[in-house]
Amino acid sequence: MKELKVTPIKDGTVIDHITPGNAVKVLRILKIPESTTSVVSVAINVIGKKGKKDIVKIENRELDPKELDKIALIAPKATINIIRDYEVVKKHKVELPDEVIGIAKCSNPTCISNAREPVQSRFQVICKDPPRIRCYYCEREPEDIADRII
């Protein structure tokens, strides 16, 4: 954790190895700052061992699986560090499942999943890194996934 340019946190989550430039998108996915009062630190273009990366630290919050899938869609190399009492108690890489349900909206305006039907959006993951997804219903591939995340 020494490479961090920002001070360590007591409890919370550190999202490391975010694709450089994508930290802001991660914040948007996590609905920060709107849905939090915790302290959030962002480091952009930090020089790490494997080149540049972004880092996001959120105090007093752990992420749910849906949020992790969303992060995997825009930062497939991200690692999630759960911090309790200044210690990393859990560290893992994000991983996209083979199918993502209810986390992104189809970019095709005439796709049935965008009509008022009792179904959630559903995408097949056709490539995990770089992430590529294809709509289960209309078979189209959205170009900018980050803009499609619900």
Partner 1 sequence: MNFKKRDVISIKDFSREEIEYILKYAKKMVPYATGEKHTDILKEKILASLFFEPSTRTRLSFESAMHRLGGRIIGFADPSGTSQKKGESLADTIRMADSYSDVIVIRHPQEGAARLAAEFAEAPVLNAGDGAGQHPTQCLLDLFTIFMEKKKIKGNNIVLLGDLKYGRTVHSLAYALALFKADLTFVSPETLKMPKEVINECREFGVEPNSTSNLEKAIKEADVLYVTRIQRERFPDAEEYNRVVGTYKVDNNLLKQAKQDLIVMHPLPRVVEIDPEVDSTPHAVYFKQAFNGVPVRMALLSLILGGKKL
Chain residues binding Zn ion by CB under 5 A are: 106, 108, 111, 135, 137-138
Q: At closest approach, how far in Å is the CB of 97 from partner 1? A: 19
Question: Which tokens hold the place of 116?
Answer: 């008022």
Residues 30, 39: contact at Cβ < 8 Å? no
**Contact stretch for partner 1 (CB under 8 A) within 11-19, 48-56, 95-103, 133-141:** 133-141
Residues 99, 123: contact at Cβ < 8 Å? yes
Residues 54, 19: contact at Cβ < 8 Å? yes
| 130 sits near partner 1 (criterion: CB under 8 A) | no
| 6 sits near partner 1 (criterion: CB under 8 A) | no
Question: Which tokens hold the place of 141?
Answer: 């591939």
Amino acid at 23: A
Distance in angstroms (rounded) separating the CA atoms of residues 26 and 40: 12
- The 66-105 contact track toward partner 1, x by CB under 8 A, reads ----------------------------------------
Q: Which of 41, 107, 113, 124 binds partner 1 (CB under 8 A)?
A: 113
Q: Which of 32, 43, 111, 125 binds partner 1 (CB under 8 A)?
A: 111
Residues 70, 94: contact at Cβ < 8 Å? no
Q: Tell which residue, 61, 62, 74, 65, has the closest CA to residue 18.
A: 74
Q: Which of 39, 47, 88, 119 binds partner 1 (CB under 8 A)?
A: 119
Q: At closest approach, how far in Å is the CB of 139 from partner 1? A: 7
Which residues here bind partner 1, judged by CB under 8 A? 108, 110-113, 115-119, 135-140
